[in-house]
Chain A
Amino acid sequence: MLKSNKLSDKVFDYTNIILLGLIALTMLFPFYYMFAVSFATYEEFVKTDLLLFPKTWVLDAYEYILGSKEFIRSLGVTIYVTVVGTLVSLLLTAMMAYALSRNILGQKIYVFMVLFTFVFGAGMIPTYMVVQGTGLMDSLWALIIPGAISSFNLIVMREFFIGLPIDLTEAAIIDGANDLQIFSKIILPLSKPALAAFGLFYAVGIWNSYFTALLYLSDPAKWTVQVVLRQLVILNKSNLLDVGMQAGMDNPPPAETVGMAAILIATIPILIVYPFLQKHFAKGVMLGSVKE
């Protein structure tokens, strides 16, 4: 863009930069505030109106939440479901996407079947009944199987496979490789970066999902971290945290700081993968919305 030295342009530029900075701060403020308060002492939290930097930093809230068997168990459940679920979703999506990227008999019908789910959802109750009917109720598989393939990811991955150079495939066919071998030995290794991106999106989706656990799990021993967070922070039922762990603490920290510590801990995995997500998502959004 042309550099201009007009005063009005400078005013415009600085206003714009300052406003954007303020917007960015609004996005960050809740995180910073929770971070600061989660390390504060009870006395300071109660006394200070705008607690931005605690005078004394204590780990009470973290000791408390990480000492809770229920919270640790929910983290374990969530990690397990996220890892297994991501692998299952990726494998099923890649297999189906590859089969549909080839000129297989009935290809158009199958693709239409997938696309139709974009515009017509089956509905919550019938899906619930099918999950019940297939014996997944109160099983961790209920968090993995019913949403295993995202139609959107499937279509985008199929487009990706179609875009791969076909020379390698042709060479392999001449060498007598079958389609399973081509898929596992050529296509998958070639698609590692794309698979990593799809995997990240599946993983974030599973980690964050609350609805499936709400619908399909009633056994508190199987609750995911999102369900426990809701009990703890939104419903304020901190009595759910086992009582036994408070034994060692004469003065348990306030529910507020414990809640903030819990939220931050549950968000750390997202923050860790965020830089990788960011690298890929713009591409993904564009692939999905602007078709060639």
Chain B
Amino acid sequence: MEEKVTGDIDLTVKPKRNIGKRMWKERYLYILLIPGLLYFIIYRYVPMAGNIIAFQDYSAFQGFLHSEWVGLKHFKTIFEDQEVIRVLWNTLYLSFLQIVFAFPVSIILAIMLNEVRSNVYKRIVQSIVYLPHFLSWVVVIGIVTILLKSNGIVNKLLESLFGMDPVPFLQDPNWFMPLVVLEVIWKESGWGTIIFLAALSGISPSLYEAAAVDGASRMQQIWHITLPALKSTIIILLILRLGSVLDVGFEQIYLMLTPFTMKVGNVLDTFVYLKGIQNSDFSFATAVGLFKSFVGLILIVGANRLAKRFGDQGVY
């Protein structure tokens, strides 16, 4: 993201007295810049500073300035509170499940699409599998609710085909994580193929032709040509995914949570919401949020370093 040479006359690195002159010359650009800049300061950076309430016992009546300072009290609580530890575990466990089960689906789907010879068919399938990405989580979970209810189509079929009693998919804690992962697969795996397909489009067709002449089967071609070509993309995306291991999606989890599944399903983001907004425990919830942001920062910077080591550029 280095500066680019634009059409401007170069005025950089001149004596200080020129700064005023330069700002005057660029005054119209500043008019364009300032509304956005104010937005970033007020709604992105002031809240960052607002994290100081994590070191206070904030009370709305006393405000930022007069609330009692308590140092690291809330951060100590994070590691002592059984609930937080369970929530942290749920978050990591869900991330793990998503990496193991959802992540490979995009790769496989991309390879399958890449093998289709009819461009028309390929494009139709692509159009269909990208679509769920643009639906809201409310709609996706609304659909899931309708299909999995006790009188929904899945339970009706289980009853008529196997004579089973209705399965309480949405209330049973054992079904919570599998459902969340399946929803992610349904909604995002098609969209996730885009970046792999781009990597695949760079493979020279002559490689496949040579392999075919040598008698390689299609599966062998995938194994020896396609997969190696995807290797660096896979590694980099995997590393970056590890960088956001604490982000598992607020809306989806919140919409899926019920009193029955709270124990297995509550993750860091939903915990912060329930604790902070619904229980008005502002300071403690902020401390948990800040802890998450901070760990996230370390992980993502680390992940990006690691990704760059693999010979490609990182995300920023």
Residues of A participating in the B interface, judged by any CB pair closer than 8 Å: 1-2, 4, 6, 8-9, 12-13, 16-17, 19-21, 23-24, 26-28, 30, 33-34, 49-51, 92-93, 95-96, 98-105, 107-108, 110-111, 113-115, 117-131, 134, 145-149, 154-155, 162, 166, 169-170, 173, 178-180, 183, 204, 207-211, 214-215, 226-227, 229-230, 233-234, 256, 259-260, 263, 266-267, 270, 274, 277-278, 281-282, 285-286, 289-291
Q: Contact between B129 and A233 (Cβ–Cβ < 8 Å)?
A: no
Contact indicator B33/A27 (Cβ below 8 Å): no
Name the contact of B112 in the complex, choosing from A1, A20, A51, A230 (C-beta under 8 A). A20
Q: Which of B115-134 contact A (CB under 8 A)?
A: 115-118, 121, 124-125, 127-132, 134
Measured between alpha carbons, how far is A161 from B12 in the docked complex, in Å? 21
Q: Are B289 and A125 in contact (CB under 8 A)?
A: yes
In the complex, besides A123-B289, A234-B142, 19 extra interface pairs with C-beta distance below 8 angstroms are A12-B219, A13-B115, A24-B125, A27-B129, A103-B12, A105-B22, A105-B23, A105-B26, A120-B296, A122-B293, A123-B47, A123-B51, A125-B285, A129-B53, A162-B4, A162-B6, A210-B136, A230-B142, A234-B255
List the B residue with the shortest CB-CB distance to A12: B218
Q: Nearest Cβ in chain A — how far from B251, in angstroms?
A: 5
B142 touches A96 (CB 8 A): no
Closest residue of chain B to A200 (Cβ to Cβ) is B134
- Judged by DSSP, the binding face of A is helix
Residues of B within 8 Å of A148, CB to CB, are 39, 43
A99 touching B112 by the CB < 8 A rule? no
Check B146–A260 contact: CB distance below 8 A: yes
Contact A27 B135 (CB under 8 A): no
Separation of A107 and B315 alpha carbons in the complex (Å): 20
Q: Which of A99, A126, A149, A260 has the most CB of B within 10 A?
A: A126
Contact string against A for B residues 131-155, beta-carbon threshold 8 Å, 1 for contact and 0 otherwise: 1101111110111011101011100
- Can you list 18 residue pairs at the A/B interface with Cβ under 8 Å? A13-B115, A23-B125, A33-B153, A34-B146, A95-B33, A102-B26, A110-B33, A122-B45, A122-B48, A123-B50, A124-B272, A129-B282, A178-B28, A179-B29, A233-B146, A234-B145, A256-B149, A263-B146
Which chain B residues in 166-190 approach chain A with CB under 8 Å?
Answer: 186, 190
A28 pairs with B316, CB closer than 8 A? no
B316 touches A115 (CB 8 A): yes
- Asked if B81 lies at the interface with its beta carbon under 8 angstroms from chain A, I say no
A285 with B194: CB separation less than 8 A: yes
Q: Assuming A120-B296, A125-B276, A226-B136, is B32 touching A99 (CB within 8 A)?
A: yes
Measured between beta carbons, the chain B residues less than 8 angstroms from A178 are 28
List chain B residues, Cβ under 8 A from A179.
26, 28-29, 32
B296 touches A119 (CB 8 A): yes
